[in-house]
């Protein structure tokens, strides 16, 4: 039997976040107001998309980078994002929400992941339970996939799906990792090897679509010591968010992931 949190438990977690996450009371209020406004905008985009109305959509998540509060100048979108990320990282014990590799060893590479991708489920862009922190490998592999037979339901409904509806898709905020996936990680001076086994439908789905690929990529990199050194250096480099170096690293990581996927699966 798979356990999922009750509605009351989720409400308590959300309350906790809203009360504590963003510093002093003025910050809490300003952050809550901002997130409410952004949620309304996300729902508007969803409605228009749902009704197939022509529109030019703005990237609402991207807006977080630009926001600054006129009443409380020390509040910025960057700050909201960083504090949210810090809270989620702590909740995840500083491990990637999908592969459980430590997030501490990656420099800038700790994307906030939208479990239901915002490209398909814009209505959940700012839903607290749709957010988790993952490593760059998992983020690139997951991309805008949903990997569920219920994709149509997830994309078309306004309300966030209940924990019980994720019956073929692993949900990092609703599921207990150990119930769904078993993993072994071996680390020596020169190698890291991670092996995953799905224990449930959700866990098997995650392994088939993501974690097995990740293990194979790891083996491939381990077999190329020089490449491994470069990759480690790049992964640990801390570049300022949205700086040219940050963008260049992302371009490289995307290209590298695509190239290794082609090499491992399509040749
Ligand atoms: Zn990961």
Q: Report domain extents, the chain.
A: 7-266
Report the pLDDT averaged over residues 147-167. Answer: 95
According to the model, what pLDDT value does residue 240 have?
67
According to the model, what pLDDT value does residue 25 have?
74
Q: Could you tell me the distance, in angstroms and rounded to a whole number, from the CA of residue 142 to the centre of ligand 1?
A: 10
Q: Could you tell me the distance, in angstroms and rounded to a whole number, from the CA of residue 32 to the centre of ligand 1?
A: 29
Q: Could you tell me the distance, in angstroms and rounded to a whole number, from the CA of residue 54 to the centre of ligand 1?
A: 36
Q: Could you tell me the distance, in angstroms and rounded to a whole number, from the CA of residue 181 to the centre of ligand 1?
A: 13
According to the model, what pLDDT value does residue 161 have?
96
Pick from 88-102, 155-169, 177-191: least confident: 177-191
Q: Could you tell me the distance, in angstroms and rounded to a whole number, from the CA of residue 185 to the centre of ligand 1?
A: 13
124-142: pLDDT as tens digits: 999 999 999 998 889 989 9
Q: Could you tell me the distance, in angstroms and rounded to a whole number, from the CA of residue 50 to the centre of ligand 1?
A: 32
Token readout for 228 is: 């491994």
């Amino acid at each position: 039997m798979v356990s999922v949190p009750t509605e009351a438990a989720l409400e308590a977690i959300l309350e906790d976040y809203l009360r504590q996450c963003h510093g002093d009371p003025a910050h809490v209020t300003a952050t809550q107001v901002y997130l409410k406004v952004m949620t309304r905008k996300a729902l508007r985009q969803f409605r228009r998309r749902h009704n197939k109305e022509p529109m030019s959509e703005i990237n609402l998540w991207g807006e977080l980078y630009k926001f600054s509060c006129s009443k409380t100048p020390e509040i910025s979108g960057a700050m909201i994002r960083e504090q949210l990320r810090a809270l989620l990282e702590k909740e995840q014990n500083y491990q990637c929400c999908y592969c459980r590799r430590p997030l501490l060893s990656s420099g800038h590479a700790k994307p906030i992941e939208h479990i239901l991708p915002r490209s398909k489920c814009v209505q959940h862009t700012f839903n607290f339970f749709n957010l988790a922190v993952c490593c760059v490998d998992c983020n690139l592999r997951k991309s805008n996939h949903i990997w569920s037979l219920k994709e149509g339901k997830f994309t078309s409904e306004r309300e966030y799906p209940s924990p019980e509806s994720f019956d073929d898709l692993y949900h990092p905020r609703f599921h207990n990792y150990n119930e769904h996936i078993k993993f072994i990680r071996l680390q020596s001076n020169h190698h890291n090897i991670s092996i995953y086994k799905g224990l449930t439908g959700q866990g098997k789905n995650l392994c088939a679509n993501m974690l097995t690929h990740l293990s194979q990529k790891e083996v491939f990199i381990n077999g190329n010591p020089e490449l491994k050194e470069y990759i480690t250096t790049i992964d640990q480099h801390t570049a300022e968010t949205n700086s040219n170096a940050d963008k260049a690293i992302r371009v490289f990581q995307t290209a590298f992931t695509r190239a290794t996927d082609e090499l491992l699966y399509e040749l």
